[in-house]
Amino acid sequence: MIKDLQNILSRSAKSAKKSAIRELLKLTQRPEIISFAGGLPAPESFPLEILKKLSVEVLEKEGTAACQYSMTEGDNGLRKALIEKYRKDEGLELAMENIIITTSSQQALDFLGRVLVDPGDAVVCGLPTYLGGLQAFAAYGAEMHGIKLDDKGMRADLLKAKLEELKKAGKKPKFIYTVPDFQNPAGITMPESRRKEILALAHEYDVLVVEDSPYRELRFEGKNPPMLYKLDGKEQVVVLGTFSKIFVPGFRIGWIIGNKDLLDKFVTVKQAADLCTSSFVQKIGALYLNQGHFDANLQRVIAMYREKRDAMLAALKEHMPKGVSWTCPEGGLFLFVTLPDGMDAEKLFPKAIEKNVAYVLGSVFHCDGSGRDTMRLNFSFAPKEKNIEGIRRLAEVIKEAMKG
Ligand SMILES: Cc1ncc(COP(=O)(O)O)c(C=O)c1O
């Protein structure tokens, strides 16, 4: 290796920080640890038998095309299947030009940075918000402006104040980044009224809205509010979708829905990034949707996660001391805990590891470094019994810290 690696690194690589989540995940790989830290789907949610059958079917029927490069925009069969899914589930009438396939949503987040952000540009996001989004935008020098959430998601009054403040400073944010359904990390869903308020502000200040929604299909009870994209109806919203949490993350299939001119730019940067997403897995994905496996397996996964969430909520209620509070998500993979009296989740972390339980520090999801008294807990990955035992251990750690 050359002696002076530092000198050949780009500015962006020099400033890039390692993902706190990935580093923590390494710590939590030990088998004795009950980890609430990852954002992983349950291994038993993967429809392996169906995938075996569909893999053979794709190879038999479209073998050479599946092994070949494919269009950068994505496999037409999969795009059509997704258009049909959005028509059926969301009442959207999308044209082919309104949807492209990405190598999962993380690539779409990177593309948002690449296509829209110059160093110093303002981007507005939730406080907290998805760490992977913060990292993707930071790589392009975005200046992040966090807007606190309440139990309905991003606060509209604070968003208005921020947009006004930026306007006075002669700045216009490149976009408002939202995760409106069972938000990562807070587990909060924006009701229709809040969606409308956010959209009204986006129109007033002419700002693009990003609707990053990997968890929307994982609703355990009640009804989904309409998508921001649907409520808007003016293509001022860009939707990021992914199979990761509702099918399999290993396929790395995601998609972007939005205005044709903007998607054209994404296609141009995708050509430089990876030419195309794997043809083989896209074709399997299309069959999975078209043959009805998607809906059937999703119902199974929803029932499984509902049970795990309920077990975790019951355990929190039973074991946590007074002063600890948590969100009660109606779906998704996560809930968010607030510790009593400004207790620091980072200081607590080594003690939790000693007791073989792990979580993600809430502060990593806050672009301003706040949220030190919070933590994110995943309930989808571990078996139900481990969720219960993990919460019991975590409660012990918190009780001991309260004693001082
Ligand atoms: C809000 C959000 N967006 C995007 C992603 C990235 O997902 P993937 O790249 O697997 O599609 C995640 C993953 O946890 C997420 O929570």
Q: Quick: pLDDT tens for 128-173.
A: 999 999 999 999 999 999 999 999 999 999 999 999 999 999 999 9
Is residue 353 situated within a structural domain?
yes
Q: Is 289 a member of any domain?
A: yes
- Ligand 1 contacts CB of residue 249 (under 6 A): yes
Looking at beta carbons, which pairs linking 291-296 to residues 24 or more positions away fall under 8 Å? 291/54, 293/47, 293/50, 293/54, 294/85, 294/246, 294/247
- pLDDT value of position 24: 64
The reply to whether ligand 1 has any atom less than 6 angstroms from the CB of 243 is no
254 lines ligand 1 (CB under 6 A): yes
**Percent of the chain surpassing pLDDT 70:** 97
- Counted domains in the chain: 2
If asked whether residues 249 and 343 sit together in one domain, one would say: no
Residues 277, 389 within the same domain: no
- Of 241, 265, 294, which residue sits at a domain end? 294
Residue 61 domain flag? no
236 lines ligand 1 (CB under 6 A): no
272 in the same domain as 138? yes
Q: Are residues 330 and 290 in the same domain?
A: no
pLDDT of residue 184: 97
Alpha carbon of residue 63 to chain centroid:
33
pLDDT at res. 15: 77
The pLDDT confidence band at residue 96, using thresholds 50, 70 and 90, is: very high
Q: Tell me, rounded to whole angstroms, the distance of Cα 41 from its chain centroid.
A: 12
CATH code (residue 391): 3.90.1150.10
Q: Distance, CA 146 to ligand 1 centroid (Å)?
A: 19
Is there a single domain that holds both residue 250 and residue 365?
no
* Final residue before a domain boundary, out of 294, 325, 354: 294
Co-location of 250 and 124 in the same domain: yes
User: Looking at 277, 294, 311, which one is the last position of a domain?
Assistant: 294
- Closest approach atom of ligand 1 to CA 104: 11
Query: Nearest C-alpha to atom 7 of ligand 1 is from which residue?
Result: 105
Dist. CA 79–CA 365, nearest whole Å: 32
Q: Do 240 and 374 share a domain, yes or no?
A: no
Indicate whether 96 and 190 sit together in one domain: yes
The pLDDT of residue 23: 65
Residue 107 is assigned to a structural domain of this protein: yes
Ligand 1 atom index nearest CA of 109: 4
Minimum CA distance residue for ligand 1 atom 4: 105
Q: How far is the CA of 390 from the centre of ligand 1 (A)?
A: 24
How much distance in Å is there from the Cα of 105 to the middle of ligand 1?
A: 6
Which of 181, 244, 245, 333 is the pocket-test mutation for ligand 1 (most atoms within 8 Å of CB)? 244
Provide the whole-model pTM. 0.96
Task: Tell me the C-alpha distance between 283 and 86, whole Å.
Answer: 18
- Tokens 């995943």 correspond to 378
Per-residue model confidence (pLDDT) at position 7: 87
The pLDDT value given to residue 336: 98
Read off the pLDDT band of 61 (50, 70, 90). very high
The answer, yes or no, to whether any atom of ligand 1 lies below 6 A from the CB of 41, is no
Average of per-residue pLDDT across 108-122: 98
For residues 37 and 174, membership in a common domain is answered with no
333 lines ligand 1 (CB under 6 A): no
Mean pLDDT of the chain: 95
The percent of residues above 90 in pLDDT, for the chain, comes to 90
Distance 5 CA to ligand 1 centre (A): 31
User: What is the domain extent for residue 168?
Assistant: 68-294
Q: Does residue 19 or residue 227 have the better pLDDT?
A: 227
Residue pair 129/364 in contact by the 8 Å Cβ criterion? no
Q: What confidence tens digit (pLDDT) does each residue in 18-31 have?
A: 665 566 667 677 88
Q: What is the pLDDT of residues 315-355, one digit of tens each?
A: 999 999 999 999 999 999 999 999 998 899 999 999 999 99
* Ligand 1 centroid from CA 218, angstroms: 14
User: Do both 75 and 203 map to the same domain?
Assistant: yes
The predicted model gives 353-380 an average pLDDT of 96
Nearest to 372 by CA among 132, 137, 127, 204: 127
